[in-house]
Amino acid sequence: MRDNKFKILVIGILLCVIYWPTFLWMNERFQWSGSYYSHGFIVPFIVAFLMWRKREVFNDSVKPTAAGLIILIISLFIHIISYAWKIYFISGFSIIFALAGLIVYLFGFRVLKELWFPLCFLIFMIPLPILIIDNISFKLKIFVAQIATYVINVLGIQAERKGSEVILQNTSLMIGSPCSGLRSLISLTALGSLYAYLVNLTNTRKMILFVSSIPLALLSNIIRVVLLLWVARGWGSETATGWFHDFSGLLVFVFAFLGLKIVENILSWKKQTQNT
| Domains in the chain: boundaries | 2-126, 131-275
**Exposure class string for 33-53: b at 16+ Cβ within 10 A, else e:** eeebbebbeebeebbeebbee
Strand partners, 160: 167
Q: Which helix (H) or strand (E) holds 19?
A: none
Rounded percentage of the chain residues whose pLDDT exceeds 90: 72
Q: What is the pLDDT of residues 146-205, one digit of tens each?
A: 999 999 999 999 999 998 899 998 888 888 887 788 999 999 999 999 999 999 999 999
Taking the CA atoms of residue 95, residue 100, residue 101 and residue 107 in that order, the dihedral angle to the nearest 10 degrees is: 140
Span 189-232, pLDDT tens digits: 999 999 999 999 999 999 999 999 999 999 999 999 999 999 99
Task: Measure the N-to-C terminal CA separation of the chain; round to a whole number of Å.
Answer: 46
Average of per-residue pLDDT values in the chain: 90
Q: Is the pLDDT of residue 115 over 90?
A: yes
User: In angstroms, rounded to a whole number, what is the distance separating the alpha carbons of residues 97 and 210?
Assistant: 23
pTM beyond cutoff 0.85? yes
